[in-house]
Protein backbone atom coordinates (compact mmCIF):
# COMPACT_ATOMS: atom_id res chain seq x y z
CA UNK A 1 0.00 0.00 0.00
CA UNK A 2 1.17 3.55 -0.72
CA UNK A 3 1.71 5.47 2.55
CA UNK A 4 -1.20 7.92 3.02
CA UNK A 5 1.22 10.65 4.07
CA UNK A 6 2.79 10.80 0.61
CA UNK A 7 0.15 10.78 -2.15
CA UNK A 8 1.01 8.77 -5.22
CA UNK A 9 -0.02 11.62 -7.49
CA UNK A 10 2.51 13.99 -5.95
CA UNK A 11 5.39 11.53 -6.22
CA UNK A 12 4.70 10.71 -9.87
CA UNK A 13 4.02 14.30 -10.81
CA UNK A 14 7.25 15.53 -9.22
CA UNK A 15 9.21 13.39 -11.69
CA UNK A 16 7.63 15.09 -14.68
CA UNK A 17 6.50 18.60 -13.78
CA UNK A 18 9.66 19.87 -12.05
CA UNK A 19 7.77 22.46 -10.08
CA UNK A 20 5.17 23.51 -12.66
CA UNK A 21 1.79 23.96 -10.99
CA UNK A 22 -1.46 25.12 -12.60
CA UNK A 23 -2.17 25.32 -16.32
CA UNK A 24 -2.20 29.13 -16.31
CA UNK A 25 1.50 29.25 -15.37
CA UNK A 26 2.87 27.48 -18.45
CA UNK A 27 3.83 29.50 -21.51
CA UNK A 28 2.34 28.17 -24.75
CA UNK A 29 4.91 25.97 -26.57
CA UNK A 30 4.47 27.91 -29.82
CA UNK A 31 5.46 31.14 -28.07
CA UNK A 32 8.52 29.51 -26.55
CA UNK A 33 9.60 28.03 -29.89
CA UNK A 34 9.24 31.40 -31.62
CA UNK A 35 11.93 32.82 -29.35
CA UNK A 36 14.37 30.07 -30.22
CA UNK A 37 15.81 27.19 -28.20
CA UNK A 38 16.17 27.97 -24.50
CA UNK A 39 14.38 31.31 -24.76
CA UNK A 40 10.87 32.53 -24.09
CA UNK A 41 9.35 35.19 -26.35
CA UNK A 42 8.95 38.55 -24.54
CA UNK A 43 5.21 38.55 -25.18
CA UNK A 44 4.84 35.07 -23.72
CA UNK A 45 6.91 36.02 -20.68
CA UNK A 46 4.76 39.09 -20.09
CA UNK A 47 1.60 37.03 -20.43
CA UNK A 48 2.96 34.48 -17.94
CA UNK A 49 3.86 37.26 -15.49
CA UNK A 50 0.38 38.74 -15.83
CA UNK A 51 -1.18 35.33 -15.24
CA UNK A 52 0.96 34.86 -12.13
CA UNK A 53 -0.06 38.27 -10.83
CA UNK A 54 -3.71 37.50 -11.47
CA UNK A 55 -3.47 34.18 -9.65
CA UNK A 56 -1.69 35.87 -6.76
CA UNK A 57 -4.50 38.39 -6.44
CA UNK A 58 -7.08 35.61 -6.54
CA UNK A 59 -5.37 33.09 -4.30
CA UNK A 60 -2.78 35.00 -2.26
CA UNK A 61 -4.89 34.53 0.85
CA UNK A 62 -4.15 30.82 0.67
CA UNK A 63 -0.41 31.48 0.96
CA UNK A 64 -0.99 33.63 4.03
CA UNK A 65 -3.09 30.86 5.57
CA UNK A 66 -1.14 27.72 4.63
CA UNK A 67 2.35 29.15 4.08
CA UNK A 68 4.44 28.95 0.93
CA UNK A 69 4.87 25.17 0.98
CA UNK A 70 1.17 24.58 1.54
CA UNK A 71 0.21 27.08 -1.13
CA UNK A 72 2.46 25.45 -3.71
CA UNK A 73 1.20 22.00 -2.73
CA UNK A 74 -2.39 23.13 -3.34
CA UNK A 75 -1.39 24.69 -6.66
CA UNK A 76 -0.16 21.25 -7.76
CA UNK A 77 -3.04 19.23 -6.31
CA UNK A 78 -5.14 16.94 -8.51
CA UNK A 79 -8.49 15.92 -7.02
CA UNK A 80 -11.50 13.99 -8.27
CA UNK A 81 -15.09 14.64 -7.17
CA UNK A 82 -17.63 11.89 -7.83
CA UNK A 83 -21.22 13.14 -7.74
CA UNK A 84 -21.99 16.79 -8.51
CA UNK A 85 -25.28 17.29 -6.71
CA UNK A 86 -26.13 19.38 -3.67
CA UNK A 87 -22.95 18.24 -1.90
CA UNK A 88 -20.40 17.46 -4.61
CA UNK A 89 -20.98 20.66 -6.58
CA UNK A 90 -20.06 22.76 -3.53
CA UNK A 91 -17.03 20.59 -2.82
CA UNK A 92 -15.81 21.09 -6.39
CA UNK A 93 -16.28 24.86 -6.24
CA UNK A 94 -14.47 25.07 -2.90
CA UNK A 95 -11.53 23.13 -4.33
CA UNK A 96 -11.41 25.41 -7.37
CA UNK A 97 -11.44 28.45 -5.09
CA UNK A 98 -8.57 26.83 -3.20
CA UNK A 99 -6.40 27.03 -6.30
CA UNK A 100 -5.96 23.34 -7.11
CA UNK A 101 -4.29 22.43 -10.39
CA UNK A 102 -6.73 19.83 -11.74
CA UNK A 103 -10.24 18.61 -11.04
CA UNK A 104 -12.04 15.54 -12.33
CA UNK A 105 -15.80 16.22 -12.17
CA UNK A 106 -17.76 12.99 -12.54
CA UNK A 107 -21.55 12.79 -12.92
CA UNK A 108 -23.92 11.68 -15.67
CA UNK A 109 -26.90 13.80 -14.61
CA UNK A 110 -28.18 17.02 -16.13
CA UNK A 111 -29.26 20.17 -14.32
CA UNK A 112 -32.98 20.25 -13.52
CA UNK A 113 -35.14 23.02 -12.09
CA UNK A 114 -35.55 20.97 -8.92
CA UNK A 115 -31.78 21.28 -8.35
CA UNK A 116 -31.83 25.07 -8.00
CA UNK A 117 -32.41 25.06 -4.25
CA UNK A 118 -29.14 23.27 -3.44
CA UNK A 119 -26.71 22.81 -6.35
CA UNK A 120 -24.19 25.54 -7.07
CA UNK A 121 -24.21 25.13 -10.87
CA UNK A 122 -28.02 25.02 -11.09
CA UNK A 123 -29.20 28.32 -12.59
CA UNK A 124 -32.00 29.27 -14.92
CA UNK A 125 -29.61 29.38 -17.85
CA UNK A 126 -27.99 26.01 -17.06
CA UNK A 127 -31.16 23.91 -16.81
CA UNK A 128 -30.76 20.99 -19.21
CA UNK A 129 -26.95 21.17 -19.32
CA UNK A 130 -24.77 18.33 -18.11
CA UNK A 131 -23.87 19.02 -14.49
CA UNK A 132 -20.18 18.41 -15.13
CA UNK A 133 -20.11 20.83 -18.08
CA UNK A 134 -22.08 23.53 -16.28
CA UNK A 135 -19.69 23.31 -13.34
CA UNK A 136 -16.64 23.43 -15.62
CA UNK A 137 -17.97 26.66 -17.13
CA UNK A 138 -18.43 28.15 -13.67
CA UNK A 139 -14.95 27.13 -12.52
CA UNK A 140 -13.40 28.74 -15.61
CA UNK A 141 -14.52 32.11 -14.22
CA UNK A 142 -13.19 31.31 -10.77
CA UNK A 143 -9.82 29.72 -11.57
CA UNK A 144 -8.89 29.93 -15.27
CA UNK A 145 -5.66 28.02 -14.62
CA UNK A 146 -7.43 24.94 -13.27
CA UNK A 147 -7.55 22.02 -15.69
CA UNK A 148 -11.06 20.63 -15.42
CA UNK A 149 -11.89 17.16 -16.74
CA UNK A 150 -15.68 16.78 -16.98
CA UNK A 151 -16.72 13.13 -17.09
CA UNK A 152 -20.33 12.41 -17.99
CA UNK A 153 -20.72 8.98 -16.45
CA UNK A 154 -21.66 7.17 -13.26
CA UNK A 155 -18.98 5.22 -11.38
CA UNK A 156 -19.21 1.43 -11.32
CA UNK A 157 -16.92 -1.57 -10.96
CA UNK A 158 -16.25 -1.71 -14.69
CA UNK A 159 -15.21 1.90 -15.36
CA UNK A 160 -13.25 2.88 -12.25
CA UNK A 161 -10.47 4.00 -12.17
CA UNK A 162 -10.60 4.10 -15.98
CA UNK A 163 -12.62 7.33 -15.81
CA UNK A 164 -9.43 9.03 -14.63
CA UNK A 165 -7.71 8.02 -17.89
CA UNK A 166 -4.75 6.55 -15.96
CA UNK A 167 -3.93 9.93 -14.41
CA UNK A 168 -2.81 9.97 -10.75
CA UNK A 169 -4.82 11.94 -8.20
CA UNK A 170 -3.93 13.25 -4.75
CA UNK A 171 -7.39 12.91 -3.17
CA UNK A 172 -10.90 11.70 -3.96
CA UNK A 173 -14.23 13.10 -2.76
CA UNK A 174 -17.06 10.57 -2.93
CA UNK A 175 -20.35 12.48 -3.01
CA UNK A 176 -22.33 9.88 -4.94
CA UNK A 177 -25.48 8.25 -3.62
CA UNK A 178 -25.12 4.59 -4.64
CA UNK A 179 -23.79 2.12 -2.09
CA UNK A 180 -22.22 -0.15 -4.73
CA UNK A 181 -20.26 2.75 -6.22
CA UNK A 182 -19.23 4.02 -2.79
CA UNK A 183 -18.02 0.56 -1.78
CA UNK A 184 -15.99 0.22 -4.97
CA UNK A 185 -14.37 3.63 -4.46
CA UNK A 186 -13.61 2.73 -0.84
CA UNK A 187 -11.98 -0.55 -1.88
CA UNK A 188 -9.91 1.18 -4.56
CA UNK A 189 -8.73 3.90 -2.18
CA UNK A 190 -7.90 1.30 0.48
CA UNK A 191 -5.82 -0.67 -2.02
CA UNK A 192 -3.99 2.30 -3.56
CA UNK A 193 -3.56 4.58 -0.54
CA UNK A 194 -5.28 7.52 -2.26
CA UNK A 195 -6.95 9.64 0.45
CA UNK A 196 -10.73 9.31 0.23
CA UNK A 197 -13.41 11.51 1.78
CA UNK A 198 -16.78 9.76 1.81
CA UNK A 199 -19.95 11.83 2.19
CA UNK A 200 -23.14 10.61 3.81
CA UNK A 201 -26.76 11.62 3.26
CA UNK A 202 -27.72 15.30 3.42
CA UNK A 203 -31.41 14.93 2.60
CA UNK A 204 -33.85 15.38 5.46
CA UNK A 205 -31.34 17.35 7.56
CA UNK A 206 -31.95 20.89 8.84
CA UNK A 207 -29.01 21.67 11.13
CA UNK A 208 -25.71 22.48 9.37
CA UNK A 209 -24.05 22.87 12.77
CA UNK A 210 -24.44 19.11 13.32
CA UNK A 211 -22.27 18.16 10.32
CA UNK A 212 -19.05 16.46 11.41
CA UNK A 213 -16.28 14.09 10.36
CA UNK A 214 -15.41 10.70 11.82
CA UNK A 215 -14.29 7.23 10.88
CA UNK A 216 -16.91 5.12 9.10
CA UNK A 217 -16.98 2.75 12.09
CA UNK A 218 -18.31 5.55 14.32
CA UNK A 219 -20.90 7.10 11.99
CA UNK A 220 -24.48 7.25 13.26
CA UNK A 221 -27.85 8.56 11.99
CA UNK A 222 -26.97 7.81 8.36
CA UNK A 223 -28.58 4.80 6.62
CA UNK A 224 -26.46 5.28 3.49
CA UNK A 225 -23.18 5.09 5.40
CA UNK A 226 -24.51 2.28 7.59
CA UNK A 227 -25.06 0.23 4.43
CA UNK A 228 -21.60 1.16 3.21
CA UNK A 229 -20.04 0.13 6.53
CA UNK A 230 -21.68 -3.28 6.36
CA UNK A 231 -20.43 -3.78 2.83
CA UNK A 232 -16.89 -2.58 3.55
CA UNK A 233 -16.58 -4.95 6.50
CA UNK A 234 -17.91 -7.84 4.45
CA UNK A 235 -15.56 -7.12 1.56
CA UNK A 236 -12.52 -6.76 3.78
CA UNK A 237 -13.25 -9.97 5.64
CA UNK A 238 -12.89 -11.68 2.28
CA UNK A 239 -9.32 -10.36 1.98
CA UNK A 240 -6.83 -12.55 3.90
CA UNK A 241 -4.43 -10.69 6.15
CA UNK A 242 -6.32 -7.40 6.27
CA UNK A 243 -5.86 -6.23 9.86
CA UNK A 244 -8.66 -3.70 9.59
CA UNK A 245 -11.04 -6.40 8.44
CA UNK A 246 -10.24 -8.74 11.34
CA UNK A 247 -10.31 -6.67 14.55
CA UNK A 248 -9.83 -8.47 17.87
CA UNK A 249 -12.94 -9.46 19.76
CA UNK A 250 -14.24 -6.59 21.89
CA UNK A 251 -16.37 -6.47 24.97
CA UNK A 252 -19.98 -5.42 24.68
CA UNK A 253 -20.22 -1.62 24.46
CA UNK A 254 -16.57 -1.14 23.45
CA UNK A 255 -15.72 1.20 20.59
CA UNK A 256 -15.70 -0.35 17.13
CA UNK A 257 -12.34 -0.79 15.43
CA UNK A 258 -11.75 2.04 12.94
CA UNK A 259 -12.04 1.28 9.24
CA UNK A 260 -9.66 4.01 8.09
CA UNK A 261 -12.30 5.82 6.03
CA UNK A 262 -13.06 9.47 6.77
CA UNK A 263 -16.76 10.30 6.44
CA UNK A 264 -18.74 13.54 6.45
CA UNK A 265 -22.15 13.07 8.06
CA UNK A 266 -24.66 14.54 10.50
CA UNK A 267 -25.85 13.04 13.77
CA UNK A 268 -29.15 14.89 13.38
CA UNK A 269 -32.13 12.59 13.06
CA UNK A 270 -33.60 12.58 9.56
CA UNK A 271 -36.65 14.84 9.26
CA UNK A 272 -39.56 13.11 7.50
CA UNK A 273 -40.97 14.91 4.46
CA UNK A 274 -43.51 17.57 5.38
CA UNK A 275 -46.76 17.94 3.43
CA UNK A 276 -45.63 15.58 0.68
CA UNK A 277 -46.33 11.98 -0.22
CA UNK A 278 -43.08 10.28 -1.18
CA UNK A 279 -40.99 7.22 -0.47
CA UNK A 280 -37.59 8.37 0.84
CA UNK A 281 -34.87 5.88 -0.05
CA UNK A 282 -32.29 6.83 2.58
CA UNK A 283 -29.71 7.80 -0.03
CA UNK A 284 -27.72 10.98 -0.57
CA UNK A 285 -30.15 12.27 -3.18
CA UNK A 286 -32.93 14.55 -2.04
CA UNK A 287 -35.78 13.42 -4.29
CA UNK A 288 -37.72 11.98 -1.36
CA UNK A 289 -36.52 13.92 1.65
CA UNK A 290 -36.55 17.69 1.70
CA UNK A 291 -33.24 19.52 1.43
CA UNK A 292 -31.61 22.82 2.35
CA UNK A 293 -28.56 24.38 0.75
CA UNK A 294 -27.35 25.41 4.20
CA UNK A 295 -26.88 21.71 4.97
CA UNK A 296 -25.86 20.31 1.58
CA UNK A 297 -23.30 23.08 1.05
CA UNK A 298 -21.90 22.52 4.54
CA UNK A 299 -21.44 18.83 3.74
CA UNK A 300 -19.61 19.79 0.54
CA UNK A 301 -17.39 22.43 2.13
CA UNK A 302 -16.40 20.09 4.96
CA UNK A 303 -15.60 17.37 2.41
CA UNK A 304 -13.45 19.79 0.40
CA UNK A 305 -11.59 20.80 3.55
CA UNK A 306 -10.93 17.15 4.38
CA UNK A 307 -9.47 16.68 0.89
CA UNK A 308 -7.29 19.77 1.34
CA UNK A 309 -6.09 18.49 4.71
CA UNK A 310 -5.17 15.18 3.05
CA UNK A 311 -3.13 16.98 0.39
CA UNK A 312 -1.30 19.04 3.03
CA UNK A 313 -1.03 16.32 5.68
CA UNK A 314 2.74 15.83 5.77
CA UNK A 315 3.69 19.52 5.73
Q: What is the pTM of this model?
A: 0.80
Per-residue pLDDT, 283 = 47
- 77-104 pLDDT, tens digit each: 999 999 999 999 999 999 999 999 999 9
pLDDT band at 249 (very low <50, low <70, confident <90, very high): very low
pLDDT band at 15 (very low <50, low <70, confident <90, very high): very low
For the domain with range 77-243+259-312, which CATH number is right: 3.40.50.11900, 3.40.50.300, 3.40.50.720, 3.40.640.10?
Answer: 3.40.50.720
For the chain, what are the domain ranges?
Answer: 31-63, 77-243+259-312
pLDDT band at 26 (very low <50, low <70, confident <90, very high): very low
Per-residue pLDDT, 42 = 61
Per-residue pLDDT, 77 = 99
Cis peptide before 216 (omega within 30 of 0): no
Angle at 27 between CA 62 and CA 135, to 5 degrees: 55
On the question of pLDDT at 295 being above 70, the answer is yes
pLDDT greater at residue 225 or residue 42 = 225
Are 81 and 103 spatial neighbours (Cβ–Cβ below 8 Å)?
yes
Q: How do the residues of the chain divide into helix, strand and coil, expressed in percent and rounded to 5?
A: 45, 10, 45
Amino acid sequence: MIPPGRPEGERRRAQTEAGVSGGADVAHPAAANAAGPGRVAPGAAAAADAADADLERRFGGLRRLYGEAGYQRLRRARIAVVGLGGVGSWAAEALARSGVAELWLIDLDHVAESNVNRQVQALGRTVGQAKALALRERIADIHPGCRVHPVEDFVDEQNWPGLLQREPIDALVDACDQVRAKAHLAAWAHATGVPLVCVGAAGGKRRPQDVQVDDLARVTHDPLLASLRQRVRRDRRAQPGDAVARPPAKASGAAAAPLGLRCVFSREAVQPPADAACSPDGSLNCHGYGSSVTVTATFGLVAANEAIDAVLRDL
